[in-house]
Chains A and B, each alone.
Chain A
Amino acid sequence: MIAGRAAGPRALLGLYRAQFAVHLAAQMQYRVMLAIWLIGLVLQPLMYLVVWATVARSQGGEAGGFTAGQFAAYFLVLMVVNQLTFTWVTEVTEYRVREGEFSPLLLRPVHPIHADLAENLTYKLLTLTLTLPIALLLGVSFGADFSPPVWAVAAFVPALGLAVALRFVADWLVALLAFWVTRMTAINQTYSVLTIFLTGQIAPLSLFPEPVRVVAAVLPFRWMVAFPVELLLGRLSARETLVGFGAQAVWLVVLVAVLPWAWRAGVRRYSAVGA
Chain B
Amino acid sequence: MSRLRLVGVFLRLGVLNELQYRANFWIQLIRSLVNLATALAGLGVVFSQATTLDGWRQDELLALVGVYFLVGAGVNLVFLPSMSQFIGDVRKGTLDYVLTKPEDAQLLVSIRRVDIWRLIDVAMGFGVNGVALARLGSDLGPGRAAAFGLTLLAGGAIVYSFLLALATTAFWFVRVENILVVFQSMYVAGRWPVGIYPPWLRGTLTFVVPIAFAITVPASALVGRLDWPTLVGTVVLAAAMLAFSRWFWSVGVRHYSGASA
Contacts and interface: CB of A to CB of B under 8 A. Distances in A.
Given A36-B178, A47-B188, A186 B42 contact: no
Question: Interface size bucket, A side?
Answer: 20 to 34
B196 A58 contact: no
B49 A63 contact: yes
A1 interface: no
B185 A59 contact: no
B135 to A, nearest CB: 21
Contacts of A141: 198
Secondary structure dominating the interface of A: helix
A55 B53 contact: yes
B49 A33 contact: no
A132 interface: no
Query: Which size class do B's interface residues fall under?
Result: 20 to 34
**Interface secondary structure of B, over-half rule:** helix
Contacts of A55: 46, 49-50, 53
A271 interface: no
Nearest to B49: A63
Contact of B48 (A47, A54, A207): A207
A141 B35 CA distance: 31
B49 A59 contact: yes
Interface string B35-60: 10110011001101110111000000
Nearest to B190: A47
Interface stretch (B23-31, B145-153, B156-164, B227-235): B23-31
Given A44-B188, A186-B27, A50 B49 contact: no
B31 A190 contact: yes
A59 B53 CA distance: 10
B140 to A, nearest CB: 27
A189 B197 contact: no
Contacts of A51: 46, 53, 192, 196
A190 B178 contact: no
B182 interface: yes
Given A43-B188, A203-B46, A207-B49, A36 B181 contact: yes
Interface in B163-204: 178, 181-182, 185-186, 188-189, 191-192, 196-198, 201
A189 B188 contact: no
Contact of A208 (B45, B54, B189, B201): B45
B189 A43 contact: yes
A54 B196 contact: yes
A274 interface: no
B119 interface: no
Contacts of A193: 34-35, 37-38
A117 to B, nearest CB: 24
Given A54-B53, A190-B30, A197 B181 contact: no
A51 B46 CA distance: 8
Nearest to A54: B196
Given A142-B198, A196-B38, 11 more contacts: A47-B188, A47-B191, A52-B46, A58-B52, A58-B54, A63-B49, A185-B27, A190-B31, A190-B34, A197-B41, A208-B45
Q: Which 7 A-B pairs have the closest CB atoms?
A: A40-B185, A186-B27, A63-B49, A55-B50, A186-B31, A36-B178, A54-B196
